Amino acid sequence: MPDPSTWRDQGRLLDIYVHAERVQFYTRNRTLDDLEQDESLQLILRSLFTIIGEAASKLSDELKSQHRDVPWGKIAGLRHRIVHDYDKVNWERIWSIIQEDLPSLIATIRPMLPPEQDR
């Protein structure tokens, strides 16, 4: 019988993956200018990054140590900044994360997930 922490980690990894994919969906064919001008898009992204960061912060130390190439602390830190410094969000930095960092996070997380038939 698998360890319950493994199940929790799998659920949290799935949350990260699904919500990162949603970020890509909502920003597809959009620009930084769109993001800076569209309050609805900002609210959506705040919510999605909050979930991603919260899930990352709750992963077990064992999983994090097995995947040291993933910047778990920075992912959780982004959530902290969005939630606690909500009036100072740097949308240009968020856009850069979406364009440059999110695709590799998704690609790294995908193989960590159990096959779909096991979810």
Whether residue 40 is contained in a domain is answered as yes
Is 22 marked active-site?
no
Whether residue 104 is contained in a domain is answered as yes
Of the residues 8, 30, 67, 84, only one is catalytic, namely 84
Distance from C-alpha of 119 to C-alpha of 114, rounded to nearest angstrom? 7
Of the residues 79, 80, 93, 110, only one is catalytic, namely 79
pLDDT block averages, 10 residues each, the chain of length 119 = 77 97 98 97 98 97 96 96 91 97 97 73
Boundaries of domain holding 74 = 4-111
Whether residue 29 is contained in a domain is answered as yes
Whether residue 48 is contained in a domain is answered as yes
Whether residue 68 is contained in a domain is answered as yes
Number of domains comprising the chain? 1
pLDDT for position 47: 98
Can you state the angle between helices 39-57 and 4-27, rounded to 10 degrees?
160
pLDDT for position 6: 84
Is 80 marked active-site?
no
Whether residue 65 is contained in a domain is answered as yes
The model carries a pTM of 0.91
pLDDT for position 29: 97
pLDDT for position 115: 78
